[in-house]
């Protein structure tokens, strides 16, 4: 069987696949696969390992005659047409769990950096603008004892709540489901979204991108936030209406933001975000530690190996495909 990989993988990860499959890979580490290479790569592939930069839509799937699994090297799979995969009996997998703690660390780093103006302070020092210790020079906002609103209490939201408890923060959260365990562990209190936005000093977003969450935080929601508040987004850019956010930051109707994700990535050269001094901008590095990124890629490779060799996936997004395949392959199993 043949596996196509849309980016050069570390040798130890490639080694999960090469003993069992013919593996072809886009040769670059830092350049996304071209559309034409992707289309020809999947033509005869049984398995596909892809990154979040590579859109898997109907036009890719239509040419992928033998494809059985799309293994996503990310927990978010908004750039894969899962419905179209399911229709074609193609399994989709993602990488939940392995990146939770690293992403929560980065959300907290952004929260601290924006609140305490860390990049701005370092720039000032490097530009020789630190002339003397002054009373109100580069004063920021206290994180300890402030109120943190977590929007989306999944794995990463819960990991952020645990960190916030260590900073003696009051924790509010908004989620589809209430989470008694994290409420007990951190004292987090459920609030409807509007109330959470009104009451919080910091708002951190941890939602997947879906049709329901696209632009969930728009002009109206930003206008509910305190003028002293900080918005942090490490989930997906389009959950926040970026134009409305720029406007709020420019007019200082919110105090600052810390962003790792954008409506368009990489962030366009002309984005007004680049010229604001009250926003900390990172290039989608939430899970970017050596250990976590290696685990994510390994998990994707293991999903392909297990599915193609044994019909099992470790972390399926559309488990109905697996059940269907089992029923076809072993009709009398039950």
Size of the site for ligand DGY (CB under 6 A): 6
- Would you call 127 a catalytic residue per the annotation? no
Considering the rule CB under 6 A, would residue 245 count as an interface residue with ligand DGY?
no
The torsion of the CA quartet 96, 101, 102, 108, rounded to 10 degrees, works out to 130
Using the 8-state DSSP alphabet, how is residue 8 labeled?
Answer: P
CB of residue 195 to ligand DGY, shortest distance in Å: 28
Does 293 qualify as catalytic in the annotation? no
265 counts as catalytic: yes
Distances (CA, A) of 79 to 58, 94, 203, 267, 288: 12, 12, 25, 17, 19
CB 162 within 8 A of CB 148: no
Tell me how far apart the alpha carbons of residues 203 and 197 are, in angstroms, rounded to a whole number: 7
- Smallest gap from residue 95 Cβ to ligand DGY (A): 6
| Binding residue for ligand DGY, selected from 23, 38, 48, 99, defined by CB under 6 A | 99
Nearer Cβ to ligand DGY, position 77 or 173?
77
Report if residue 76 touches ligand DGY, rule: CB under 6 A. Answer: yes
Which residue number, 229 or 287, has a Cβ lying nearer to ligand DGY? Answer: 287
From the list 71, 75, 150, 279, which residue makes contact with ligand DGY (rule: CB under 6 A)? 75
233 binds ligand DGY (CB under 6 A): no
Burial class (CB in 10 A: 0-12, 13-18, 19+), 77: buried
Tell me which of 287, 303, 315, 318 binds ligand DGY, using CB under 6 A: 287
- Looking up tokens 């029923």 gives 327
Q: What are the tokens at 287?
A: 């899970």
The DSSP H or E segment spanning 15 is: helix 11-17
Task: Using only the alpha carbons of the chain, give its radius of gyration.
Answer: 22
The piece of 69-77, 157-165, 176-184, 251-259 that touches ligand DGY (CB under 6 A) is 69-77
Active-site positions? 236, 265, 284
Judged by the rule CB under 6 A, the positions of this chain that interact with ligand DGY are 74-76, 99, 286-287
């Amino acid at each position: 069987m043949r596996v196509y990989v849309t980016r050069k993988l570390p040798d130890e990860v490639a080694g999960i696949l090469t003993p069992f499959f013919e593996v072809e890979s886009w040769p670059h580490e830092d350049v996304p696969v071209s559309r034409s290479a992707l289309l020809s790569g999947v033509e005869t592939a049984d398995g596909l390992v892809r990154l979040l930069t590579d859109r898997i839509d109907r036009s890719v799937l239509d040419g992928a005659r033998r494809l059985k699994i799309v293994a996503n090297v990310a927990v978010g799979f908004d750039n894969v047409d899962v419905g179209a995969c399911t229709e074609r009996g193609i399994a989709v997998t993602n990488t939940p769990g392995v990146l939770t703690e690293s992403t929560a660390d980065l959300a907290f780093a952004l929260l601290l950096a924006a609140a305490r103006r860390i990049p701005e302070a370092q720039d000032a020092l490097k530009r020789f603008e630190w002339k003397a210790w002054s009373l109100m020079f580069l004063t920021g906002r206290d994180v300890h004892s402030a109120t943190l609103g977590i929007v989306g209490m999944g794995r990463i939201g819960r990991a952020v709540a645990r960190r916030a408890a260590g900073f003696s923060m009051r924790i509010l959260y908004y989620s589809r489901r209430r989470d008694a365990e994290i409420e007990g562990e951190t004292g987090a209190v459920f609030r409807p979204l509007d109330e959470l936005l009104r009451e919080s000093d910091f708002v951190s977003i941890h939602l997947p991108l879906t049709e329901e969450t696209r632009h969930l935080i728009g002009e109206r929601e930003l206008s509910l936030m305190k003028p002293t508040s900080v918005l942090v987004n490490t989930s997906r850019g389009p959950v926040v209406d970026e134009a409305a956010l720029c406007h709020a930051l420019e007019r200082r109707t919110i105090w600052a933001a810390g962003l790792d994700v954008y409506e368009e990535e990489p962030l366009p050269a002309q984005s007004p975000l680049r010229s604001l001094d009250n926003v900390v901008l990172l290039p989608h590095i939430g899970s970017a530690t050596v250990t976590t990124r290696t685990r994510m890629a390994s998990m994707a490779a293991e999903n392909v190996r297990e599915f193609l060799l044994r019909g099992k996936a470790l972390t399926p997004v559309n488990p109905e495909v697996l059940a269907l395949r089992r029923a076809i392959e072993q009709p009398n199993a039950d």
